[in-house]
Structure 1
Amino acid sequence: MTAYADYLMIISLPADLVKEISRYKRASVNTIGHFEGMHSRAYITITHQVRCKPFLAQPAIQRMGQRLSTMPPVELYLNGFDHFSHSQTTKTIYAKIEHTGRAENWFKLLTMQMGIKVKGFVPHITIAKNIPVTAFNKLWPNFERREFKHSFIVNNLTILHRDTFAEHHEWKVYRELHFGNKLLAF
């Protein structure tokens, strides 16, 4: 048993969408060169909990799974691209999840059922993370007006974990928490 573990809670994406996002990342490398996360698999990050005691976190995750099983799945719609400004020196380009009332209510319910507070949470799929502003200025015109529409159904929350202090720690799937089995109207 590990002394401390990190947990990453994500929404996994369908294979065709992962492939499409990977294509955008490769095209971005061709434009601006290498950047952080250019080879990482696409997903939607919900929260990252660091340095947790597994004997406390694991029962909490089990209880969370019971609460999440009462939630319905949701269909999310991607519509174009947007960006975050982290500082005056770096920015992140991402695929934008359409802000529908249904999606916003679902994400509020998700964080409530998870028992976490996520300040300023904007669900998104990262394309180019923490790139310098000069690279952003070169890359953004390729995304700014590009049409990108895709929809997919979210059926579960994936919990990844790793040993906090391991020398070569890699994320591994800890558990899949499934939502209820019906799409409902909010």
Structure 2
Amino acid sequence: MTGYQNYLIILAPPAEVSQQVKKLKLSSAAVIGEYEGLFSKAHITVQPWMRKKPVWVGPLIPKLERDLQNLPPITLTIDGFDYFDQQETASIYAKLVSTPLTKVWFKTLRRYFNTPPFEPHITIARSISKDNFNKLWPHFKNKQWRHEFKVDQLTILRREHIGYDKSYKIYKEMPFNQHINFDDFANLKLKTPLLTINKSNTQQFSLF
């Protein structure tokens, strides 16, 4: 391939989550009609790489594989639904429980991609009109869905930047380190900034 490609870096949930998201999307379409992203598979977006040549992406992979060996697999929990208000549009998504431990894990992952902070989520209906949102949100507002799942690898998807086929296909799957304990990893990361701050404070007081 010599042309430009679009890449999407994601965390892919297991099959049972994907199947439930598919059902929720189809039931949403029954209410508001077909919408963009209706047939996309469930995922948690980490970062898009738009309009990149394979020669740019290829050399990044070995370093990324090494970096990801510093991260343990993560267990995430879906807990109901929420939405993003985007002024003229809105997006409904499956909400993920956020804890100090999951936050520090995602912060470490973001560092490898220079990605700004974001709220991890699984989109159900993306960028739908406000009229469609007002029709659809009552179906999700009090809907219960709690499900725990494990993510043990990062996935890079790829598609042609220009062309008929707009569907993403798997380009690379890179595992996290199964030998690292998640709680030990996250607690260590949480303690490190505190130790740095305390040390800094001690130095400041010593000046006076």
* TM-score of the two chains, using structure 2 as the length reference: 0.83
Counterpart code for 2:85: S
- Kindly provide the amino acid, as one letter, of the partner of residue 124 in structure 2: I
Unaligned runs of 5+ residues in structure 2 are 187-208
Q: Distance in 1 between matches of 2:32 and 2:66?
A: 45
SS of corresponding position for 1:27: helix
Q: Which of the two has greater strand per residue?
A: 1
Task: Give the C-alpha shift of residue 53 in structure 1.
Answer: 2.7
Quote the residue 2:125 is aligned against. Answer: 128
Q: Which residue of 2 aligns with 1:58?
A: 58
Structure 2: which amino acid aligns with 1:168?
D
Residue 43 of structure 1 is matched in structure 2 by 43
**Number of residue pairs the alignment of both structures matches:** 183
Deviates more, 1:125-134 or 1:49-58: 49-58
Residue 82 of structure 1: SS of its match in structure 2? strand
Distance across 2 between alignment mates of 1:102 and 1:121: 15
1:106 aligns with 105
- State how far apart, in whole Å, the 2-side matches of 1:35 and 1:169 are: 15
Higher relative contact order (CA 8 A, sep 6+): 1
Give the superposition deviation at 1:119: 2.8
The 2-side partners of 1:95 and 1:170 are apart by: 22
Q: What is the CA–CA distance in structure 2 between the aligned matches of 1:3 and 1:31, rounded to whole Å?
A: 39
Once the two structures are TM-superposed, the CA of residue 167 in structure 1 deviates from its matched residue by 4.0
RMSD: 1.4
Question: For 2:162, what is the secondary structure of its paired residue?
Answer: coil
Q: Work out the CA distance in 2 between the residues paired with 1:5 and 1:23.
A: 30
Contact 2:107–2:117, Cα closer than 8 Å, also in 1 = no
Partner of 2:6: 6
* Partner Cα separation in structure 2 for residue 110 and residue 45 of structure 1: 12
Deviations 1:86-131 (A, max 9, x none): 22x210000001111111111101111x2x2323411100101111
AA in 1 matched with 2:82: D
Q: State the match for 1:72 in structure 2.
A: 72
Distance 2:149 2:140 in 1: 21
Unaligned runs of 5+ in 1: none
Match of 2:135 in 1: 138
1:166 corresponds to: 163
Using the TM superposition, name which of 23-32 and 122-131 deviates more.
Answer: 23-32
Counterpart secondary structure, 2:59: helix
More helix by share: 2
Q: Which amino acid in the other structure matches residue 178 of structure 2? A: N
